[in-house]
Amino acid sequence: MNCCVDFKGCNKGVKILAVIFDLDGTLLDTGRAGRYVLTEFLAKYGKKLDMEKEERKRLGMTQKESAAIFVKDYELPLTPDQFIEEITPYYRERWADAKALPGANRLIKHLQKNGVPLALASNSMHEYIEAKISHHKGWKESFSVILGSDQVKSGKPSPYLFEEAAKEMGVDAINCLVIEDSFVGVQAANAAKMKVVAVPSQKEADCYVLADVVLHSLLEFQPQLWGLPPFDDWVDKALPIEPIHLSGLYVTGSLYETTGNAAFSLPDQVVGLYIGWAKVDTDRNLKILVSINLDHLPGFANKKVHVCLIDVNNEDKSEQKMEIHLVGYIKALDKELTSTELEKLTEYKSFARASLDLASFSYI
């Protein structure tokens, strides 16, 4: 992965004065909400959602482009406009549940606090952008410019959204940094002659080719490498995060999905090495070190969750239902951390144990 940590400096002499964010899939986890909507909507017409088909398309398209393809693919007795009119209320209801992706709130607050101009530029319509961010405190006030594809000549991959955002912020395109999750968004940033960081889902692997830097999640973003003020919120070797909750069946060091369990529908960006707390069949809360990785298999993203019980023998707590609350982030991982990496595991367990004694990482 072309991660920013591999660079001594990402801006290469170009001063970054403003940051432009995409919204869906970059700051907000609207993708999962969308899949629930599509499943429910298609059921009205006796159709079933084809997940393999959905994973391969439509990310970054405008609403009308996406609607036209959807109506055709599922042979719906609707025009694209009728489809949009019928399905929009379903989406509006789900947008209230769309959560900020890991690191999104942290990055927005940090840049705003340090006076860096921020813009939102999305292929969604402006009205929908406003509706989505209304559920997140302080987001609207954080962005001096909010643009939808209905406000420019054409959306991404054309450069107009990003060019207009820069113009309204009063910043030259060359001094803007774009943060995107989709290939069409990266293409648009390239066309606008802007630097671009991609935080793609697994299915957007094409981003690796055109982005200046590719990250697993926004938790990896290092502002100082772009000439922006650095974060100051790490506590020793761990970063306090908004809690991430998952559950499943714990079996000799790994967490497995159980029937009806949504643990592994976490967004692709929830990967890396974390610390947190686990609750098993007893009421006792256990300190844990957790690695979350994606199997890079064609067609789907399969999560691997490895759980190391810090003060308990892993073998002693096998085959039990487990609830996990991740409260701290340690680092990105390109491969799974396993118990065979004894030297590293001992080191990570040591400072995980100490960190979880601090108030910043207490069990909530």
pLDDT at 102 > cutoff 60: yes
The pLDDT value recorded for residue 293 is: 84
Percentage of residues of the chain with pLDDT beyond 90: 55
- Is 22 marked active-site? yes
pLDDT of amino acid 296: 55
| Confidence check: pLDDT of 92 > 80 | yes
pLDDT score, position 65:
82
Query: What average pLDDT does range 219-227 have in this prediction?
Result: 96
Structure tokens at 324: 């996990």
What value does the mean pLDDT of the chain take?
85
Query: Does 242 score more than 70 pLDDT?
Result: yes
Q: Is pLDDT at 264 greater than 80 in this prediction?
A: no
Going along the chain from its start, the domains and CATH numbers come out as 18-28+98-226 (3.40.50.1000), 30-97 (1.10.150), 239-361 (2.40.30.30)
353's tokens: 């144990």
pLDDT digits (tens, 9 = 90+) for 104-151: 999 999 999 999 999 999 999 999 999 999 999 999 999 999 999 999
Question: DSSP states of 232-272 as a string?
Answer: ---BTTBEEEEEEEEEEEEETTEEE--TT--GGGS-TT--E
pLDDT surpassing 70 at residue 289: yes
Which H or E run contains 73? helix 63-73
Q: Which helix (H) or strand (E) holds 89?
A: helix 80-95
pLDDT at site 226: 96
Q: What is the mean pLDDT of residues 153-168?
A: 96
At which residue do the structure tokens 């098993």 appear? 280
User: What pLDDT is stored for residue 63 in this prediction?
Assistant: 76
Check residue 85 and give its pLDDT.
92
Closest CA to 358 of 327, 317, 335: 327
Lowest mean pLDDT among 18-22, 133-137, 203-207, 292-296: 203-207
Specify the pLDDT at position 132.
95
Per-residue pLDDT of 34-89, as tens digits, reads 778 888 899 999 998 887 666 555 555 667 888 898 899 899 999 999 999 999 99
Backbone phi and psi for residue 186, each to the nearest 5 degrees, phi listed first: -65, -40
Average pLDDT, stretch 341-358?
84
Mean pLDDT value of segment 296-302: 51
For the segment 334-350, the average pLDDT, to the nearest whole number, is 70
Q: Choosing from 24, 29, 181, 212, which is the catalytic residue?
A: 24
Residue 46 falls in which region: left (phi positive, over 0), alpha (psi -120 to 50) or beta: left
List 22, 29, 212, 268, catalytic entry: 22
Mean pLDDT on 265-289? 86
